[in-house]
Amino acid sequence: MIRFQQVSKKYNDQAVLEDFDIAIEDGEFFVLVGPSGSGKTTTLKMINRLIEPTYGDIYFNDQRLIEYDLKELRLTIGYVLQQIALFPNLTVAENIELIPEMKRWNKTQRRERTEELLRKVNLPPEEYLHRKPAELSGGEQQRIGILRAIAAKPDIILMDEPFSALDPISRGQLQLLIKDLHKEMASTVVFVTHDMNEALLLGDRICVMKEGRIIQTDTPEEIRSHPANEFVAQFFQQDHSNLENYCAEDLLKIDSLAPAKITGEVNVALDTTLPVIIRALIEGKRVTLVEEEIVHGEITDRAILRFLETKMEKGDQ
199, amino acid identity: A
Residue 179: per-residue pLDDT: 83
Output DSSP code: residue 257. P
pLDDT in tens, 11-38: 888 899 999 999 999 999 999 999 888 9
pLDDT in tens, 97-131: 999 999 999 999 999 999 999 998 889 999 999 99
Output DSSP code: residue 317. -
Residue 315: per-residue pLDDT: 52
pLDDT in tens, 35-85: 888 999 999 999 999 999 999 999 999 999 999 999 999 999 999 987 777
pLDDT in tens, 250-275: 887 777 677 776 666 788 888 888 87
Residue 24: per-residue pLDDT: 97
Neighbouring residues of 178: CB distance < 8 A, sequence distance ≥ 6: 146, 159, 162, 189, 202
**Residues, the chain:** 317
Instruction: Please determine, for residue 285, whether its predicted confidence score (pLDDT) is greater than 70.
Output: yes
CA 285 remoteness from chain centre: 19
Residue 12: per-residue pLDDT: 86
Residue 18: per-residue pLDDT: 94
Residue 242: per-residue pLDDT: 61
Rounded to two decimals, the pTM is 0.77
Range in 47-56, 94-103, 149-158, 190-199 with the lowest mean pLDDT: 190-199
Task: Write the Ramachandran bin of 155: left for phi over 0, alpha for psi from -120 to 50, otherwise beta.
Answer: alpha
Residue 69: Cβ within 10 Å count: 8
CATH 3.40.50.300-classified regions of the chain = 2-238
Higher pLDDT, 114 or 299: 114
pLDDT in tens, 128-143: 999 999 999 888 898 8
Beta bridge pairs of residue 37:
none
CATH 3.90.1280-classified regions of the chain = 243-314
User: Domain 2-238 has what CATH class?
Assistant: alpha beta
Average pLDDT score, the chain: 87
Q: What CATH number labels 243-314?
A: 3.90.1280
Instruction: Please determine, for residue 239, whether its predicted confidence score (pLDDT) is greater than 60.
Output: no
